[in-house]
Structure 1
Amino acid sequence: MSKLNIDQKGIKDLFTEKNTDFLIPDYQRPYAWGEKECQTLWDDLFLFAFPDNDCDKFDSDTDEYFLGPIVTFKNEDGKKEIIDGQQRLTTLMLLLRAFYDKYGSMKNDKALKTSKLIEQCIWKTDEFDEPDKSALKIDSEVATDSDKEQFLNILKTGIVNDDWKSNYANNYRFFQQKISEFLNTYPDWFSFFPMRIMKNCILLPIEAESQDTALRIFSTLNDRGKPLSDADIFKAQFYKYYSSKGEKDSFIAKWKDLEVLCDSLFHPISGTPMDELFTRYMYYERAKQGIKTSTTEALRKFYERNSYALLKTDETFENLIDLANFWNDVQNQSVERFSDRILRRLFVLNYAPNGMWTYFVSVYYMANRDQNGALDDESFYQFLNKITAFIWAYAVTNPGVNALRTPVFAEMINIVNGQPVAFSDFLFHTQQLQNAFNNFTFSNNRTITKSMLTWWAFQDPEQELLPLESVLEIEHIYARNRQEKEHSLTDARNVESLGNKALLEKRINIRAADYRFADKVKYYLGFENSRKQKKEGTKIKELTDLAINAKDFTETDIVQRKAKMIFKFQEFMGENGLLSAD
């Protein structure tokens, strides 16, 4: 069981301890508090120190103000790495330094005593409690914080240059201004304020025995901001590696660019966009290591193997950048990188019933790219067709992404070993596949329903490529409202049949939902309203063809269309070698 040291302490008691040596580690995010947070802190501290705007109502023996927990662990250098509390500790240090700056010009006894106490909070001291003003009790190594030197210089000197625009500089100026205003307004109270902050404002330092324990505690306690992500920890390893090579500035610039890119690309349900990039790359490294077990370990556990060896090479970081750029070109539907037929396949996969395809494609790209990041068009096209057919069929016959792991992980290993993707141990029997599709309920709440409709729409070679940001919904060609009013279907279940569903842009679907087919035609084709405004029709070619060529869409059409869709998908499976011979 992990051991914790927990002991409620005032700011003075915590900061003046001889062994206090705080470190904001390289994997932390940059200091983010601005004037709004500082104003709130100042107001709260003032109300606490002077209840009802009365200096005499404060009870120094019993009154306490809780500032929150500080989660740390002692690293191998003996420093207390701050896992939670960075923003508060940094801001408190700036506040105390601003008070010290003001007291430096005062010579009365109270001012001297207060200054002495603040010195012991900010700087390390000798055995006579004299401060060494070159040795701070807090340090920052945040890899992506280019302004951290301003913070350290402010604490050491109390000087903030006019051209400094960082949060550190702005907040320090803010506190200087508030302290000056306070002194002018309440000169008789001035000596009480910093003493009440230092002696009666309480922190809860929680010192864990390891980084992992500290991070777990942070995740449990933290409900205010973003917890440290796996990518933050990985960033620290890269930072140390590139710093040792004298390339830390170049790394920081590249990392920031990569973060911006990932933020625009990935929107994972859990974790950060950068975590998602590391996850996609992890499957490539897993495949290279021959790991095909269906149980995937946690992201951090995978990368921390052998003391984070994967994160101590140029190759890994450059691969991550390359992989992110690949997915950026997928997202932007780059015609410079991909042919039209590839982009069409990728569009269909974007509507896959689960996200496994992104890991699959990531492994394929990393293993098959040439030195310019290009893929052979024909091979990539065949690969995309095969995984589309397999993933779609598996979603019907073996629902759930976990079931998909076993066949896909094995094929990932084949990819990195230069072997073709065959799924030879997981081929489908023709009749069983047909029965599964015939009996499957393609309800709107099942992702495979929209997946099938997207695949079907793009089986038409004349279906134009749509932007990935298109908002497509499921259209009932034979309207549900029509069945409710007419009861003309002999089998009411056919209204929810796959044969009665198609993709349709949301902007059109909202208007056309309750119309008879003859009334829907103009919405499918587009029309000009009474105000001479052009209303664009659908880009789904099957629907425009229906609007032009059909007078109605009946139950017979529903049944025949479903049969045709299933038959064509079965043909698609056969073309991709996924049907067994027996």
Structure 2
Amino acid sequence: MSKLNIDQKSVRTLFSDKKSDFLIPDYQRPYAWGEKECQTLWDDLFLFAFPESNCDKFNSESDEYFLGPIVTFKNDDGKMEIIDGQQRLTTLMLLLRAFYEKYGSMRNDKAVKTSKFIEQCIWKTDEFGDPDKSALKIDSEVATDKDKEEFLNILKTGTLTEKEKSSYANNYRFFQQKIAEFLNTYPDWFSFFPIRIINNCILLPIEAESQDTALRIFSTLNDRGKPLSDADIFKAQFYKYYSNKGEKEQFIRRWKELEVLCDSIFHPMTGTPMDELFTRYMYYERAKQGIKSSTTEALRKFYEKNAYALLKNDQTFDNLIDLAYFWNDVQNQSIERFSDRILRKLFVLNYAPNGMWTYFVSVYYMANRDSQGMLEDEKFYKFLNKITAFIWAYAITNPGVNALRTPVFAEMINVVNDRPVSFMEYQFGTQQLQNAFNNYVFSNNRAITKSILTWWAFQNPEQELLSLETTLEIEHIFSKNRQDKEHSLSNPRNLESLGNKVLLEKRINIRASDYRFSDKVKYYIGFENSRKQKKAGTRIKELLELAENVCDFTEADIAQRNAKIIFSFIEFMHSNALLDEN
């Protein structure tokens, strides 16, 4: 069992301890606290130090304010590597340095004593307690933090220039301003505030015997700072691996480049962009291990197996980088990597009812790429068609992404073993699918509605590829406002049927939403306004064809178009061998 050293300590006791030599390691994220967090800390500390804005209501013997845990482990150089608490510890150092800068020039006894205590918190001291102002109690080696030298310089000198605009500099200025305001407002209390912070504010240092233990402890803590992501913890494992190989600097550079790349590609609802990359890659490794369970492990749990064995080899990191560049080319619609027909299929999949397709495609890419990172076009095209058909149909017949896991995970294993994707055990009956479409309510708030309409738009061979940055909304061809005023639809359900809905660019949808079809036409095809400004029309080919060929869009047109969309999708399922013909 791992041993832990846990003993709550005041800021002064912890920081001034001669054994305290803190290091913010390479794999940590850059300092991220801003004025909002600093304001909260200042307000909390002020209310604690001066209860009810009264200096005399503070009990220095018993009053305590808990600042939170600091999780560390002692590395091979004897330094206390900070796993959790970096943001808090860094901010406290800036706050103490700002106090020292103001109080250091004051010569009354209380100010001198307070300054002495702060010196012992910031700098290493000799046996008489005198500081060596070239030797700080904290150091930063954060590889991705270009401003860390500003932090260290602030602690050493207490001075700033106007050119320094980092978070460290801004927060230090904030504390300087707050301290100046405090002295002007409460001049008689000036010695009490910093001494109550360092003597009565409590930290909980948790010193683990190893980095792995410290990371596990961190993962169970929920503090008010900015916690490490799963990817940060994985970086620590890679960092150790490449450091042992003598490739530390190369790894730091490549990791930083990968972070920048992922930030531009992925925008997950939860977790970080790097977490998203590790998640997509995880499904490839799961499939290689033959795991088809619909219950997926947490990301960290998966990678920490066998002492993070998966992260202790070159191939994994190289694969992650390769996978990131693949998705970068998907996002940028790279014509060097993909044919036009592949890009059209990928555009449609970007409007999938859930994100499962990204994991499926990631597995396919990793298993089928050649040495240049290219995929065979015809084979990839057929794969994208099949998964589009299956995912769309499954979303209608078995709503919920969790239901999709069982068939997709099984097919992922087929992909990595070079077996065809068939979904043989999950074939759809033609009548079953027809009935599902007829009974399904395709409301705008259901993701599958836009999915079907996107697929339908690109069934038109003349539909041009659109940018993924295009904002598309759902347009009612026969407008809601028209129905509200005229009540001309005999079956009100037709208003929300697929036959009455189409994709339309947001900029046009706002203007065209409440008009009769004959009035909408000019917005669909584009027009020149009264100021002779040209307003571009839609790039949705079906709408342009409607605008050019019909004068009105009636209930009969809705029903006919609805039947055509459903029939075409069932034919699409048939062409992908997903219908049970028995």
Q: TM-score, normalised by structure 1?
A: 0.85
In structure 2, what is the equivalent of residue 207 of structure 1?
206
State the one-letter code of the partner of 2:71.
T
Per-residue deviation at 1:301?
Answer: 0.4
Matches within 5 A, 1:62-461: 66=65, 68-72=67-71, 74=73, 82-94=82-94, 96=96, 117-118=117-118, 120-122=120-122, 137-145=137-145, 148=148, 194-200=194-200, 202-205=201-204, 207=206, 210-211=213-214, 214-219=217-222, 221-222=223-224, 225-461=225-461
In structure 1, what is the equivalent of residue 24 of structure 2?
24
Per-residue deviation at 1:343?
Answer: 0.7
SS at match of 1:31: coil
Alpha-carbon separation, structure 2, partners of 1:18 and 1:275: 38
> 1:392-427 CA deviation, whole Å, 9 max, x = no partner?
111111111111111111111111111111111111
Per-residue deviation at 1:569?
Answer: 0.9
Distance 1:113 1:506, change over 3 A: closer
> 1:238-257 CA deviation, whole Å, 9 max, x = no partner?
11122222222222222222
Alpha-carbon separation, structure 2, partners of 1:203 and 1:12: 9
Does the Cα contact within 8 Å between 1:27 and 1:235 map onto a contact in 2?
Answer: yes
Alpha-carbon separation, structure 2, partners of 1:500 and 1:177: 61
State the one-letter code of the partner of 2:561.
R
Distance 1:523 1:291, change over 3 A: same
State the one-letter code of the partner of 1:240.
K
Does the Cα contact within 8 Å between 1:22 and 1:138 map onto a contact in 2?
Answer: yes
Does the Cα contact within 8 Å between 1:478 and 1:553 map onto a contact in 2?
Answer: yes
> 1:250-308 CA deviation, whole Å, 9 max, x = no partner?
22222222212212211111111111111001111111111111110000001111111
Per-residue deviation at 1:543?
Answer: 1.0
Q: Is the deviation greater in 232-241 or in 457-466? A: 232-241
Does the Cα contact within 8 Å between 2:74 and 2:207 map onto a contact in 1?
Answer: no
SS at match of 1:539: coil
SS at match of 1:337: coil
Alpha-carbon separation, structure 1, partners of 2:375 and 2:280: 18
SS at match of 1:450: helix
> 1:118-154 CA deviation, whole Å, 9 max, x = no partner?
4543466788878788986545453433555675687
Does the Cα contact within 8 Å between 1:528 and 1:535 map onto a contact in 2?
Answer: yes
Distance 1:175 1:564, change over 3 A: closer
In structure 2, what is the equivalent of residue 467 of structure 1?
467
Distance 1:41 1:301, change over 3 A: closer
Does the Cα contact within 8 Å between 2:84 and 2:228 map onto a contact in 1?
Answer: no
Distance 1:170 1:527, change over 3 A: closer
Per-residue deviation at 1:70?
Answer: 2.6
> 1:8-35 CA deviation, whole Å, 9 max, x = no partner?
6432233345664544344432234568
Q: How many residue pairs align between the two structures?
A: 576
Per-residue deviation at 1:74?
Answer: 4.7
Does the Cα contact within 8 Å between 2:98 and 2:158 map onto a contact in 1?
Answer: no
Alpha-carbon separation, structure 1, partners of 2:481 and 2:282: 48
State the one-letter code of the partner of 1:370.
D
State the one-letter code of the partner of 1:349.
L
Per-residue deviation at 1:493?
Answer: 1.2
Does the Cα contact within 8 Å between 1:353 and 1:451 map onto a contact in 2?
Answer: yes
Q: Is the deviation greater in 516-525 or in 456-465? A: 516-525
Matches within 5 A, 1:568-579: 568-579=568-579
Alpha-carbon separation, structure 2, partners of 1:548 and 1:111: 84
State the one-letter code of the partner of 1:61.
S
Does the Cα contact within 8 Å between 1:353 and 1:392 map onto a contact in 2?
Answer: yes
SS at match of 1:317: helix
Q: Is the deviation greater in 19-28 or in 507-516? A: 19-28
Alpha-carbon separation, structure 1, partners of 2:100 and 2:551: 85
> 1:298-356 CA deviation, whole Å, 9 max, x = no partner?
00001111111111222111211111111111111111111111111011101111110
In structure 2, what is the equivalent of residue 519 of structure 1?
519
> 1:147-205 CA deviation, whole Å, 9 max, x = no partner?
556756876x65989898866578779989999999999999887665444224x1241
Per-residue deviation at 1:567?
Answer: 1.1
Q: Is the deviation greater in 68-77 or in 33-42? A: 33-42
Alpha-carbon separation, structure 2, partners of 1:258 and 1:113: 49
Alpha-carbon separation, structure 1, partners of 2:439 and 2:50: 74
State the one-letter code of the partner of 1:268.
P
Distance 1:396 1:161, change over 3 A: closer
Per-residue deviation at 1:97?
Answer: 5.7
Does the Cα contact within 8 Å between 2:294 and 2:409 map onto a contact in 1?
Answer: yes
SS at match of 2:71: strand
> 1:202-241 CA deviation, whole Å, 9 max, x = no partner?
124163874356434543x32xx53321011111111112
> 1:431-469 CA deviation, whole Å, 9 max, x = no partner?
222222222221211111111111111001001111111
Distance 1:518 1:191, change over 3 A: closer
Distance 1:376 1:161, change over 3 A: same
> 1:20-77 CA deviation, whole Å, 9 max, x = no partner?
45443444322345688778877987898799999x8685736957372134255687
Alpha-carbon separation, structure 2, partners of 1:379 and 1:411: 15
Alpha-carbon separation, structure 1, partners of 2:40 and 2:256: 30
In structure 2, what is the equivalent of residue 539 of structure 1?
539
Alpha-carbon separation, structure 1, partners of 2:556 and 2:107: 98
Distance 1:291 1:135, change over 3 A: farther
Does the Cα contact within 8 Å between 1:476 and 1:513 map onto a contact in 2?
Answer: yes
Per-residue deviation at 1:540?
Answer: 0.9
State the one-letter code of the partner of 1:66.
Y
Distance 1:168 1:551, change over 3 A: closer
SS at match of 1:535: strand
1:487 equivalenced with 2:513 (yes/no): no
Per-residue deviation at 1:383?
Answer: 0.8
In structure 2, what is the equivalent of residue 559 of structure 1?
559
The percent identity for this pair of structures is 75
Gaps of 5+ in 2: none
Q: TM-score, normalised by structure 2?
A: 0.85
Does the Cα contact within 8 Å between 2:21 and 2:80 map onto a contact in 1?
Answer: yes
Q: Is the deviation greater in 548-557 or in 284-293? A: 548-557
In structure 2, what is the equivalent of residue 61 of structure 1?
60
Distance 1:67 1:419, change over 3 A: same
Does the Cα contact within 8 Å between 1:143 and 1:236 map onto a contact in 2?
Answer: no
Per-residue deviation at 1:542?
Answer: 0.9
Alpha-carbon separation, structure 2, partners of 1:186 and 1:492: 71
Does the Cα contact within 8 Å between 2:72 and 2:84 map onto a contact in 1?
Answer: no
Alpha-carbon separation, structure 1, partners of 2:167 and 2:179: 18
Pairwise CA RMSD of aligned residues?
Answer: 3.9
